[in-house]
A and B are shown apart, each in its own frame.
Chain A
Amino acid sequence: MKECHFGGLSGESYMSLKLGPAGVPLSCKGRTIVEGMDDITVLGLDAMEVQTVRTVQPHHFDQYWQAGILSWKSDFEMNMHGPYYAELLGSKRERNRTLSKMEASMQAGKLVNARHLTYHVGPYGDFDPGPKANEELVNIFSGVVDRVRSIWGDEKEEEEYSAFPWVHEAEPSLVGIETSGRQELWGTVEEVLEVCNHVEGTVPVLNMAHIHARGHGRMRTSEDYAELFDQVRETYGGSKFYCHFAGVEHRMGNALHYTQIKKSDLKFEPFAEFLAEEGDWMDITIISDSPLLEHDAMYMLQHYDKARQRLLEIRARDERRLRLVRQGGSDSEELEGKEQEITAIKEVEQEAKQKTNNATSETKVVKTKIKKESNMISFEESNDEDDIF
């Protein structure tokens, strides 16, 4: 876990940031989850979201246990994504079909020691956007949370699962409800927060690409991220966040296609800047679900490190200034006055320099003219810019 200290002078407050890909890394030579976890660790990342987007294959269960053990023994955060084809607001048949797929991912989530289980809701179906759809989902997700807890905390199974201690010792997975990237799908930030607020054990999954697309490209500056997280903090509370990040092509408030981050108008730099400057209270996991899974996760890590480095430099400079103030026995107002004086002097000096430069260039022009006119060999240094030597 990266514990990044941002307390400035005191160094007391810190943030926890975990980064990882949505699935086994593309560059992984093996195909199993455990091999994927090894590769992620080697890359300096520390989280993964297992994709069970179509179905959970029974023959995967062995590797799920192994992944769970590895995750329990290390500080590696495992998470799980539920089915793509979710229709929780659809007909009874559609909802039951979605729930049965979700059940499989809940079971698998227990095996891998998943900290979050991420689910889509799907289209509005017969519901209009608003309180009725949200109420329906509150009921559904209350049931899902109960089911997750019953899967995890069965005392009768304690002996059976003695080799897998997290089943009894760890908290059950949190049920994540993901924001959607299209107008016809349930899942604005407000809707997700509303439902999460009413169901204990759920957590909003902030898919930045979706939020950006649905908001017609709203995530542009670090201020936009500050606003978003303030909204989440005020409505939902807490300091734990689970996010997805990828590049996205969007049009008319709808996500069209996921792209690598570099090719999108959704940039990671402002998010990194926000995390470095204002994220000291946060415990955040960011999953890269771009087409370049781990490559873009690394890209995010690099940008975060850069933003943190910049901030540390600024803080170190400020700290030095304060120390100088204390040493000199002057207060900050005096220092400010002195700094203003220095700036004024510098400005005057610069003006003077400019004037001298102008004067020299004028003389040079005159000299060249004289040379041309005299047509004599000169040994003076040439100022020919084309002369590469």
Chain B
Amino acid sequence: MVFTSYSKMTAHFSIANFAHPDGYDAGSLVTKSATSLGANVDIITSSPSEIFSSFNHGIINWKGILQNKQWLINSATTVLDGESPYYAWAASMIIGELEGVKTVMVVDIPKEIDRLSEMWGAIIDRIRQIHILFITTQALKSISELEDISIDSLLSEIRFRGLIPFVCNYDEDNKHARVEHSRGSIQVHTAEQITYSTWLANFLHRLPLTSLDNAGIEHAASCFENF
């Protein structure tokens, strides 16, 4: 297991990220953006001598890692990477729940698109442990077809049925963010074109500092003076 720690500045913005060693899964991208924002980040993955699909996940001390962390960022595609990543992914969310860490699940489409159903099924199984469910625009289209629910109502339907505190998406082409949350729904346009990972990292950075009503969440979703 490799444990990488980045610590820059803001004490209120700390992240644990269970990542693929190649660092290109959706959660890793968000973590990289968060690091540039000054987040205190711990990245957990397999060591170079191990194969990710069968790495020794038993030695991860999730309790120690997640203590005093604010966010746990996981990628949905990790469940398809093999048994070891799946167990580590699942364990991280259980310990996260026990430790009071909020889980952020970043849902992107898998490389093997025919395994989307398997991936989405695993997310639904754990839906009650997820606090922020971010779905990329591509994944939104595919899940909408899978669930036979229109794209427009998919986010609210998922939030409504799963009782997830936040379900969100950022459309990079249209610079448009949508956040369905426990107290309502907001849509904002960002002034600049940014990547979804940048938007989500910024949202995670701002969210703990705002009130959890529509105005506060809108502020968190649209405030980009750091860029």
Contacts and interface: CB of A to CB of B under 8 A. Distances in A.
Interface string B83-115: 000010010001001101000000000000000
Nearest to B90: A26
A291 B165 contact: no
B87 A27 contact: no
Contact of B163 (A23, A29, A97, A258): A258
**Dominant SS among interface residues on chain B:** helix
Contact of B161 (A29, A85, A289): A85
A84 B98 contact: no
A291 B183 contact: no
A251 interface: yes
Size class of A's contact patch? 20 to 34
B66 to A, nearest CB: 14
A104 interface: no
A256 B121 CA distance: 22
A97 B100 CA distance: 38
Contacts of B157: 85
Interface stretch (A51-59, A72-80, A155-163, A276-284): A51-59
Contacts of A84: 124, 161-162
B120 interface: yes
Contact of B97 (A97, A249, A260, A289): A260
Nearest to A255: B163
B164 interface: yes
Interface residues of B, number: 25
Contacts of A260: 97-98
B83 to A, nearest CB: 9
Given A54-B120, A84-B162, A256-B182, A292 B94 contact: yes
Interface string A311-334: 000000000000000000000000
A53 B161 CA distance: 10
Contacts of B161: 84-85
Given A256-B165, A258-B163, A291 B129 contact: yes
B144 to A, nearest CB: 12
A257 interface: yes
Contacts of A181: 163
B147 interface: yes
Contacts of A292: 94, 97-98
A290 interface: yes
Given A257-B163, A258-B128, A27 B94 contact: yes
A257 B165 contact: yes
A181 B182 CA distance: 13
A256 B182 CA distance: 6
A117 to B, nearest CB: 18
A290 B131 CA distance: 14
A244 B149 CA distance: 28
A256 B165 CA distance: 7
Given A26-B90, A54-B120, A257 B164 contact: yes
A292 B117 CA distance: 24
Interface in B12-36: none
A258 B161 CA distance: 11
B148 A97 contact: yes
A51 B131 CA distance: 20
Contacts of B149: 85
B125 A51 contact: yes
A240 B125 CA distance: 28
A85 B146 CA distance: 13
Which among B120, B121, B128 has the highest number of chain A CB atoms within 10 Å?
A: B128
Interface string B145-178: 0011100000001000111110000000000000
6 contacts: A54-B124, A84-B124, A97-B148, A256-B182, A256-B183, A292-B94
Top 4 closest pairs, chain A to chain B, by CB: A256-B182, A291-B128, A84-B161, A291-B129
Interface of A: 23, 26-27, 29, 51, 53-55, 57, 84-85, 97, 181, 246, 249, 251, 255-258, 260, 263, 289-292, 295
Interface of B: 87, 90, 94, 97-98, 100, 117, 120-121, 124-125, 128-129, 131, 147-149, 157, 161-165, 182-183
